[in-house]
Chain A
Amino acid sequence: MNVSLFVTCLGDQFFADACADAVRLLRHVGAEVSFPLAQTCCGQPAYNSGHRDEALRMMKHTVDVFEDADYVVLPSGSCAGMMRTLYPELAGSSPEDDPTAAETMRNATRELAARTYELSQFLATVVGVQHLGNGLDGQRVAYHHGCHALRELGVSSEPVALLRGAGARVMEWSADQECCGFGGTFSAKLPEVSAAMADHKLDTLPEVDVVTSADGGCLLQLSGRALRRSSDVPFRHLASLLWQGVTGTAESEGRT
C-alpha cells in the first residue's frame, strides 16, 4: 500500500513532529510512505477568504503534485475536507479555462478526492485498524472535533475509536463538537469573538490529561488561548497521541 503524505503548510512548520509520527503510524500499519517534495498548500486559506483565483492556483498545483499517488493522507481534517469536497466544486470554475481544460480538471479533482483521506479516517476505514496498542494506558483525553472533519468528511467516530483502541479514556465534553473559533483568518480579523468561542470550549473542558484534535489550526487556537489564560492542560496532535498508543512513550512532549 503506497501512501503519499500531504503534511500541509501548518504541519510542516508547526507540527513537524506530529507529521513524523504520522509517517511512523502509517509504516506501522504496513504502508510505504512517500513525501512528494513539491507539495505546498491546499489553498484553503485563499478559498475561505474569498480569493478564488489564488485558491484555484494552489488547487491546480496540488492536483499535479499528487497526480500519481495511490492514496493521499493528511494529518489535517480541514485540508482533507478541502480536497475531498471543495476541489471538485472549484474545479473548472475559473472563467479563463477552456471547456476541455475545465472538464479535465473536474475529472482530476473528483478522482483525487476519491483517494484522499484524513489520517484517522484512513487508518480506520481503509486500513481497518481498531486496536493500535495500549500505549495511552488509561490517559484521560478530550477530543476536539474540528468542523471540517466533522461536517465535510463525516469523520467523528473514527478518531475517538482509535484513541480508545489505543488505551485512552475519551472523556465526555459537552462542547466537543462546537467550533473552536479558529476559522483561518477569522481568528485574527475578529479576535474577540474568536477568543470567546475558544473560552467556551475551555470553560466546559472536563478534567483531562491531554486535549487532542486532527486539526493543527484548532490546536493552535485552543492551546494559544489556554496559555493566555494560564492553563497548563497539554495539547497534542492526534497523530502523536496515536503513535504513543503504539509505542507507549511520548516522543514529542509539549504543546504542539
Chain B
Amino acid sequence: MSGNSSTFRPASYREASARTLRDTPEVRDSVGSATRTFDALRTKAYAEVDSDRWRDWAQDVKAHALTHLDEYLEQVEQSLVANGAHVHWASSADDVHRLLEAIVVEHEVRTVVKAKSMLSEELEVNAHLDTLGVRSVETDLGEYIIQLLGEPPSHIVGPAIHRSLEDCRALFHEELGTPMDADPDELAAAARAALRGDFLAADLGISGGNFVAADTGTIALIENEGNIRLTTSVPRIHVALVGIEKIVPRFEDLAGFLQLTARAATGQPIGLFVSLIQGPRTADEVDGPEEVHVVFVDNGRTALYEDDTAWEALRCVRCGACLNICPVYRQTGGHAYGWTYSGPIGAIIAPGLLGLDRALPLPHASSLCGACVDVCPVRIPIPELLVHWRERTVEEGRNSVGERLAMRSYAELAERPSAFSTAGEALRWTPWRAVGKALPVLSGWMQEREAPTPSPKSFRDLWREGIE
C-alpha cells in the first residue's frame, strides 16, 4: 500500500469536477475532442483485425500469467539476472525511493532523464528525486509540457490533452523563448533541442515497462517519439520501474500485446518505437547503459490480487481506451480524479492501491454505462468491479447512515406491494420544488434539472379503471 501521500485526493472528485466544469470549461472541450479522436482511431484499428479474437487471446494470456504469477516472477528474475541486469523488489513507494537514493549516491547521479512512466507518477518519484537534489527532466513531450506547468498528467497516454495549442505557445514562449505565434513544429523543435542536451548529459535514465517477458527477461516499452529509446540507451545507468502485474509468459507473446495495445490506445498498428531490453550493454556493443536495474513494484497490487473479484483489473495494459470512451471522464479529464490513474481503470484499481477509504468516491464516479467493456483490449469487466467496490463501501459502513436506512426501507416496501404503491402515491404528491432542496438526493437532482412531473394518475389506478 502506498505511504501517506497527501498529494493524492480522490476525495475531492465532486468538488474538483464541478470546479473544472464551472471555471475552466475549455478543458471539457480539449479533453472531449482528444478522447473522441483517439476513440475513432481505435474503432478503425479494431475493425482492421479480428479484434474479438485478439482480445480473447490477450485476456487469456494475462489471466494465465496472473494465475501463475509467482512462478513467472521467479522466472523473470532469473532471466534478467542471467542477462546481467540487477533485479530489485519494492513493496511500497518508500522502498523505491530508498533504492533510487542508493543508486543516486553510489553513482553520484546529478541529472536524470525520465521516460513517461505512470508508475513513477504513482510512486511520486520526481518529488523524491527533488529532495535528493537531483534534477529530473521529463522527456516525453506531453510530460515535458506538464512538468513545465507543474501539473500532474491528465490522461494515461496523452498527459497534456487538457491543454490547447495556445496554452503550449504561451508556455514555450516563457520557458524556451519561442515566438508567441510559433507553429507546433517550431515548438517541438525547441523542445527537442533543449532535451537533446539533457539526454547526452544525464547520468541516469528512468523508465517504466509496458510488458516484461518472463522467459527471455525482456522489458518491452512502447512510444512514438523516441525518447524512451534514448532514455534507456544513452545514460550510463537505466532503472526500469515495473508493476508486478506487467509479466507476460513468453517473448513471442509480445507480438500480440505490442500490436493490440497500440491499436487500443491510439489506433496505430504498433508504436513507432518499441524497445525490447534484455539487460546492460554486452561486450560487443558500442553503446548502451553499463547497468540496468529492474524494480518490480507492489505498492498495493498484491492487495488487488488478493481480492477475488478485483484481481481482474490487474490485466490492464494501460492503453487508455476506457478513458477515451468514458462519458464521465470526457467531461473533466483526469485531474478531477485526484491521482495518477483516472477514468474507469483508475476507479477500479484505486481501492487496491490506495485503500478503499482513500479511493472514495471514485468507484461511484460512473453511471455504469458499460461503454468501457466494449473497448477494453483485455476484457476487464469494469462495471462489475465498480459495483463490487460499491458493495464493499456499503459492507464497510463507508456510505451514509441515511442512505443505508433509505435503501433498507425501500427494500422493505418493495416486499409489500400495497405499502409500496401507497408510498409511491405519497411520493408523487411531494412538492418537489419545495422539499427537493432540503433532501440531499433530491437537491442534487434539482440543482441541475427541473423536477419530473408525476403522472396525474398512477398506472395502478389506470389499470383499475380499465384501459381501453
Contact = CB atoms under 8 A, between A and B. Distances in A.
A and B touch in the complex (CB under 8 A): yes
A131 B358 CA distance: 55
Nearest to B25: A196
B82 interface: no
28 contacts: A12-B459, A13-B454, A13-B458, A16-B458, A23-B467, A37-B460, A40-B414, A40-B420, A45-B407, A46-B410, A46-B411, A178-B371, A179-B369, A179-B371, A183-B366, A183-B367, A188-B440, A189-B14, A189-B444, A190-B17, A190-B444, A191-B444, A192-B447, A193-B328, A193-B332, A196-B21, A225-B448, A228-B448
B387 A48 contact: yes
Contacts of A37: 417, 460
A197 B364 contact: no
A54 B410 contact: yes
Contacts of B331: 193, 196-197, 200
B391 to A, nearest CB: 4
A227 interface: yes
A148 B65 CA distance: 32
B450 A196 contact: no
B448 A16 contact: no
A255 B415 CA distance: 31
Interface string A136-154: 0000000000011001100
Interface stretch (B124-132, B156-164, B421-429): B421-429
B411 A181 contact: no
Given A50-B399, A179-B369, A192 B390 contact: no
Nearest to A57: B411
B387 A182 contact: no
Contacts of A184: 367-368
Of residues A15, A178, A188, A254, which shows the largest number of chain B Cβ atoms within 10 Å of its Cβ? A188
Contacts of B425: 13
A16 B368 contact: no
Nearest to B399: A50
Interface in A19-55: 19-20, 23-24, 35, 37-41, 43, 45-54
Contacts of A187: 367, 444-445, 449
Contacts of A58: 411, 414-415
Contacts of A47: 387
B171 interface: no
Contact of B413 (A40, A53, A147, A188): A40
Given A40-B413, A151-B374, A48 B368 contact: yes
A50 B452 contact: no
Of residues B399, B444, B468, which shows the largest number of chain A Cβ atoms within 10 Å of its Cβ? B444
A180 to B, nearest CB: 8
B454 A14 contact: yes
Nearest to B363: A50
Contacts of B394: 49-52
B7 interface: no
A94 to B, nearest CB: 12
Interface in B436-468: 440-442, 444-445, 447-463, 467-468
Which range contains the number of A residues in contact with the other chain?
Answer: 35 or more
Contact of B414 (A41, A151, A185): A41
Contacts of A185: 441
A19 B420 CA distance: 18
A134 interface: no
B364 A57 contact: no
A12 B451 CA distance: 17
B327 A197 contact: yes
Contacts of A225: 448-449
A142 B373 CA distance: 25
B391 A50 contact: yes
B327 A191 contact: no
Q: Which 7 A-B pairs have the closest CB atoms?
A: A183-B367, A50-B390, A224-B449, A188-B444, A16-B455, A179-B369, A195-B448
A192 B463 contact: no
Contacts of B17: 190, 192-193
Nearest to B411: A54
Interface in A223-247: 223-225, 227-228
B449 A14 contact: no
A197 B387 contact: no
B408 interface: yes
A156 interface: no
A129 interface: no
A240 to B, nearest CB: 12
B231 to A, nearest CB: 36
B391 A256 contact: no
Contacts of A39: 417
A35 B463 contact: yes
Nearest to B329: A193
Contacts of B442: 188
B452 A224 contact: yes
Interface in A31-90: 35, 37-41, 43, 45-54, 57-58, 61
Interface in B304-353: 327-328, 330-332
A11 B331 CA distance: 30
B459 A7 contact: yes
A57 B367 CA distance: 23
Given A13-B458, A188-B442, A195-B448, A54 B369 contact: no
B449 A221 contact: yes
Contacts of B373: 151
A147 B387 contact: no
A50 B360 CA distance: 13
A9 B424 contact: yes
A45 B462 CA distance: 25
B448 A194 contact: yes
B180 interface: no
Interface in A190-228: 190-198, 200, 220-221, 223-225, 227-228
A193 B364 CA distance: 12
Given A13-B458, A20-B467, 19 more contacts: A9-B420, A14-B452, A14-B455, A15-B459, A16-B456, A24-B468, A41-B410, A51-B411, A53-B411, A54-B408, A147-B371, A183-B368, A191-B444, A193-B328, A193-B332, A197-B367, A224-B445, A225-B449, A254-B453
Contact of A13 (B18, B407, B428): B428
Interface in B381-413: 387, 389-394, 399, 403-404, 407-408, 410-411, 413
Nearest to B364: A189
B364 A188 contact: no
A11 B459 contact: yes
A127 B417 CA distance: 30
Contact of A16 (B367, B392, B447, B457): B457
